[in-house]
């Protein structure tokens, strides 16, 4: 059985997914020892993938929540697994982010890696396949395969090209993620077998069919927990975030950009795509607990960022805080909150990706990331100072830039749900301003620490070229978010519509719960 319905005439999702792998294999087989050639090939492959994703966006129908560009082929027929790909607005937005960041990191790492460059660039191409595949998969087993495939290149990126404690960080990253996802695998198998019409039928991995399956509450709760823990580790939610600072600090710049920009989004994406539609009753029960964890993450991440001495760690912990707005926005269960969460995801990918790039550019010049060792950088590096100011302001939520829109909508969603929680979460925004501006103050202003810095060059054209698209998009999202909200709106409101009967059922319980917290609707 093979079918594909595409408004574009060729199976664009598969081409987009596997083009980077093809590029990586060709590089490994035929371009050994020719750095200029394989770097150009990596650039060409990621650029072509980016162009494909723009074509997809061009032909994407923004007025429906249905999945588009669907491809479906039997894969392992006897166990009911199929190669089923398709995208809705949520996937499209995240795929765009993925292809953009994958394209940007290639020139950004052009001279950064000295050792075994070929493997480095090939790893990122393989990683891109895993990421795009994860956002496209409409079959649980296929999704799991792409989800786990991402681990392998990321493990090598951190472990081979990372900092001094890279082996520890790489193993921790791998084992944390794997521990979460193997439990999800058991849950996947469990629901696939429970969803069969009779015991002789093949299990059901296809999401289109699974969405109509009804599971008993204990099953939903167990499967929800298994899925949610796997996704919460990726998000990462407090208290499962401890792998993140290690991985970020040790990873090479490009690795951090992809990790923060795309891999963290996998968690939120997984919750939206799988947890919520498949286990609605369990999700509704879990709302208050997850909201509380989200708010703890917002405040905790911000407070810990405040005391970081290492610039990269500061940005890493700020991610924990920002991701709290994502889970908070999702579990507020309003269309606005959900759209806010998705915009936070997109904007965090742009801004934090850019911040990690900047930290990398600074490290290449100063060979340190210690905030206390910097100071007065604005004098020798004015262009760098300007860019850092831009992305810092974006990240702390300055209106007009992308960070503000997402966080504002997410808070609005929380506010309609529970005022007290929204107030506490809003304190996270204030704290973000505190740690980011204080960081900027210490790094860029004050007196120049080292006169040698005047002999170093400011940002090169190549570096500016990799930051500029991110800055441009941050302004676009901040100034006219409708472009992006329109893409996700049908899918977001479809999901909330799907959930509303369940929410109504549990409304009483929630009212009581929040009343006991001193809030209320």
Contacts to another protein by CB under 8 A: 74-79, 116, 141, 144-145, 148-149, 151-152, 155-156, 159-160, 166-167, 170-171, 174-175, 178-179, 182-183, 185-186, 189-190, 192-193, 199-200, 203
Alpha helices by DSSP H, listed for 237-371, are: 243-250, 253-258, 264-270, 276-278, 280-306, 311-331, 335-366
**Residue with tokens 């398709």, as numbered in its chain:** 86
Of 168 and 513, nearer to another protein (C-beta) is 168
Q: How far is the CB of 145 from another protein (least distance, A)?
A: 4
Nearer to another protein, 141 or 459 (CB): 141
Closer Cβ to another protein, 43 or 182, answer by number: 182
Q: How many angstroms separate the Cα of 119 from the Cα of each of 15, 37, 39, 123, 346?
A: 22, 14, 11, 6, 28
Q: Closer to another protein by CB, 216 or 451: give it.
A: 216
Please give the backbone phi and psi of residue 4, each rounded to the nearest 5 degrees, phi first.
Answer: -145, 135
Cα 475–251–448 angle (5° rounding)? Answer: 65
Choose between 152 and 437: whose C-beta lies nearer to another protein.
Answer: 152
Minimum CB distance to another protein, residue 178 (Å): 5
Residues 6+ apart with CB under 8 A from 59: 7, 8, 69
Minimal distance in Å, beta carbon 134 to another protein?
12
**Closest CB to another protein among 77 and 486?**
77
Closest to 104 measured CA to CA, from 474, 476, 471, 469? 469
Task: Provide, rounded to whole angstroms, the least separation between the CB of residue 24 and another protein.
Answer: 13
Tokens of 209: 């069919």
Q: How far is the CB of 149 from another protein (least distance, A)?
A: 6
The residue among 510, 379, 386, 371 whose CA lies nearest residue 442 is: 371
Residue closer to another protein, measured from CB, 75 or 112? 75
Beta carbon nearer to another protein, 172 or 369:
172
Nearest distance from residue 232's CB to another protein, in Å?
A: 17
Question: What span, in angstroms and rounded, lies between the C-alpha atoms of 150 and 441?
Answer: 37
Whole-number minimum distance, CB 151 to another protein, in Å? 7
Question: Residue 442 CB, nearest distance to another protein (Å)?
Answer: 34
Return the DSSP state at 370. Answer: B
Q: Give me the least distance between CB of 261 and another protein, in Å please.
A: 23
Residue 200 class from Cβ within 10 Å (0-12 exposed, 13-18 middle, 19+ buried)?
exposed
Comparing CA positions, the residue from 159, 355, 323, 321 lying closest to residue 247 is 159
Contact 161, 189 (CB under 8 A): no
Report the DSSP pairing between strands 81-87 and 2-5: unpaired
Q: CA–CA separation, 421 vs 59, rounded Å?
A: 40
**Helix (H) or strand (E) segment spanning residue 420:** helix 419-444
Nearer to another protein by C-beta: 151 or 459? Answer: 151
Shortest Å, Cβ 435 to another protein: 33
User: How would you write 162-179 as a 3-class SS string?
Assistant: CCCCHHHHHHHHHHHHHH
Kindly tell me which of 122 and 431 has the beta carbon lying closer to another protein: 122
- Minimum CB distance to another protein smaller for 218 or for 518: 218
Residues contacting residue 343 through CB under 8 Å, at least 6 positions apart: 402, 405, 406, 409, 410, 477, 481, 484, 485
Question: Least distance from C-beta 17 to another protein, angstroms?
Answer: 13
Q: Give the 3-state DSSP-derived string for 40-82, with helices as H, strands as E and coil as C.
A: HHHHHHHHHHHHHHHHHHHHCCCCCCCCEEEEEEEEEHHHCEE
Q: Which of 132, 124, 129 is nearest to 21 (CA)?
A: 129
């Amino acid at each position: 059985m093979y079918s594909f319905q595409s408004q574009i005439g060729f199976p664009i999702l598969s081409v987009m997914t596997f083009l980077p792998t093809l590029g990586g294999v060709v590089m490994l087989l035929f371009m050994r020892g020719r750095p200029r050639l394989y770097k150009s090939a990596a650039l060409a492959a990621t650029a072509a993938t980016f162009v494909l994703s723009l074509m997809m966006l061009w032909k994407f129908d923004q007025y429906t929540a249905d999945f588009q560009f669907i491809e479906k082929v039997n894969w392992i027929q006897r166990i009911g697994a199929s190669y089923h790909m398709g995208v809705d607005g949520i996937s499209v937005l995240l795929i765009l982010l993925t292809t953009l960041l994958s394209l940007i990191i290639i020139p950004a790492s052009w001279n950064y890696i000295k050792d075994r460059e070929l493997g480095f660039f090939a790893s990122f191409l393989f990683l891109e396949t895993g990421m795009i595949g994860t956002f496209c998969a409409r079959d649980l087993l296929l999704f799991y395969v792409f989800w786990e495939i991402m681990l392998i290149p990321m493990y090598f990126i951190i472990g081979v090209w990372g900092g001094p404690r890279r082996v520890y960080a790489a193993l921790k990253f791998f084992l944390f993620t794997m521990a979460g996802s193997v439990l999800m695998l058991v849950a996947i198998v469990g629901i696939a077998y429970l969803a069969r019409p009779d015991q002789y039928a093949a299990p059901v991995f296809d999401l289109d069919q699974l969405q109509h399956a009804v599971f008993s509450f204990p099953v939903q709760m167990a499967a929800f927990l298994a899925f949610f823990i796997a996704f919460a580790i990726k998000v990462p939610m407090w208290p499962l975030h401890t792998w993140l600072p290690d991985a970020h600090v040790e990873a090479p710049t490009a690795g951090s950009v992809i990790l923060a920009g795309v891999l963290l989004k996998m968690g939120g994406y997984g919750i939206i795509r799988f947890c919520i539609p498949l286990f609605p009753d369990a999700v509704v029960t879990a709302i208050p607990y997850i909201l509380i964890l989200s708010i703890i993450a917002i405040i905790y991440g911000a407070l810990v960022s405040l005391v970081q001495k290492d610039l990269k760690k500061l940005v890493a912990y700020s991610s924990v805080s920002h991701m709290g707005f994502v889970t908070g926005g999702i579990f507020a269960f309003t269309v606005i909150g959900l759209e806010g969460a998705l915009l936070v995801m997109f904007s965090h990918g742009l801004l934090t990706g850019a911040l990690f790039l900047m930290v990398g550019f600074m490290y290449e010049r100063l060979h340190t990331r210690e905030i206390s060792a910097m100071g007065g950088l604005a004098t020798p590096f004015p262009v760098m100072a300007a860019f850092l100011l831009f992305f810092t302001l974006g990240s702390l939520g300055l209106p007009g830039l992308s960070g503000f829109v997402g966080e504002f909508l997410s808070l609005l969603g929380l506010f309609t749900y529970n005022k007290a929680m929204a107030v506490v979460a809003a304190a996270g925004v204030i704290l973000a301003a505190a740690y980011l501006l204080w960081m900027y103050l210490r790094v860029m202003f004050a007196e120049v620490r080292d006169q040698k810095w005047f002999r170093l060059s400011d940002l090169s054209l190549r570096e500016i070229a990799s930051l500029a698209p991110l800055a441009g998009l941050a302004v676009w999202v901040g100034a006219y978010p409708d472009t992006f909200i329109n893409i996700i709106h049908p899918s977001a409101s479809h999901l909330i519509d799907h959930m509303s009967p369940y929410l109504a059922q549990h409304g009483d319980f929630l009212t009581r719960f929040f009343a006991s917290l001193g809030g209320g609707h």
